[in-house]
Structure 1
Amino acid sequence: MNAENDKQKMVAATVTADSAAGDDRAAERKLGTRAPGFIQKSSLLRLGWQVGIFVVGLAVIGAGIAMLVLPGPGWLVVFGGMAIWATEFAWAQIVLRWTRRKVTEAAQRALDPRVRRRNIILTTAVLLIITALAGIYLWKFGIVIP
């Protein structure tokens, strides 16, 4: 009888632990707003919140796009702007999850030894071709300093 009660307690503890982990995963999968409760209750506050989040996210994404051609961590800032949008908009959460999944897949593929070897060989070949073309250009035309 004692062994049976202990077994039931272990099963109950396992189920509780699994459901707690499931709640964490469910909270992670949940789409929608993360606005405070008092903002969600008022439609006017909610609209203002959404407009504010959109404007801030748009400004951050705009800065990230500018950093793509200027010095700075452009893509990181763009993804940061998407993360800001994802706090309020379900479509941004979906895009951010898709992007995160694709980046993880690309990182796994890049760590594959065969892919790394191929990339090193291709990079070396391209650098050799560019060096040869630059050498031919310099041999034919030389360096003209104004």
Structure 2
Amino acid sequence: MTSYRNKGITAITYNHLNLPTKVSTGGGTISYIYDATGVKLRKTVSTGSDTEYAGNYIYQNGELQFFNTPEGYTTPDGNGGYDYIYQYKDHLGNVRLSYMDDNGTLEIVEESNYYPFGLEHKGCNNVVTLLLPVCDWWLK
């Protein structure tokens, strides 16, 4: 594929590993840099956004934005710290519930429900906010 007019993509350039290195749209370009094995290292958007990928760590414009953990992931909280988002997964490894501890209460960040064939339920997967008191045994 060298263009995708329905999405406004006018040109796509690939490297020798058949990975996109430059995507051109009406609003600018997106450039990608990979290592020799095809792992994405950097994404640069012509509007000024620069994203670097270092294993599980993702930096945007030089600031740590995301990293995976065994129980979920972390994101910046806006106050110089990070929020820890826990994930409850089903037997197939799909994330069914994402929640966080917000000053002694559990806040549900996202809920996902699936049909047996894999499609998400309509109207049941919106971001919800439900505050519950935190009990220590819930987080163990």
> What is the TM-score normalised by the length of structure 1?
0.21
Q: Which has a greater percent of helix?
A: 1
**More contact order relative to length (CA 8 Å, sep ≥ 6):** 1
> What is the TM-score normalised by the length of structure 2?
0.21
Structure whose CA Rg is larger: 1
Q: Which has a greater percent of strand?
A: 2
